[in-house]
Amino acid sequence: MAKEIREWAVAILIAIVVIAVIRMFLFVSFSVDGLSMDPTLEDGDRVVVNKFIYDLGEVEQDDVIVFESNQDSAYVKRVIGVPGDTVEMVDKTVYLNGEPLQEDYVVHQEESYMDNFTLSDLGVEGDVIPQGQYLVLGDNRPISRDSRDFGLITEDSIIGEVQLRFWPLNEIAIDF
């Protein structure tokens, strides 16, 4: 009996350590708060964020990421511009390196406070996004707080890439 209890205790302890390692270094769940990524992600959606993916590769344009903000809690946004890119918005159309982006995920087209911007409007010196910095925008542009508000984000602030929506169960998805 004592041997069986000891075996169970060891198994439970190992499971706790494995879960702690996974949460600390590999994956973390995140709850979407607000409608800034609607319709891609909605208020209350639960997602899994891959924390180690950028240790293996680069942040890419169109990645949906979670990052620490200087203003509030963590934000979830879409990467629009990476280091070396030029980005501007003219009449609600985003231009990346001079070409208009095809953004099928942007469905809200109401007037917003900033439908036009250049990198210099966001406080960037020069014509391109500097190394280690990224321009992020929410998919629901009229209400999103994003790089138009707080400027570019740093690579160090990125927690990871959203890789799975697991809640609500009827909207499980892996492609954003």
Could you list the active site residues?
36, 77
Measured distance CA(61)–CA(73) in Å, rounded: 23
Residue 117: other Cβ atoms inside 10 A: 17
Measured distance CA(102)–CA(99) in Å, rounded: 9
Q: How far is CA 169 from CA 10, 131, 132, in A?
A: 33, 39, 36
Task: With CA atoms as reference, report the closest residue to 105 among 140, 65, 58.
Answer: 140
Helix (H) or strand (E) holding 90: strand 87-90
Which residues is 67 bridged to in the sheet? 75, 158
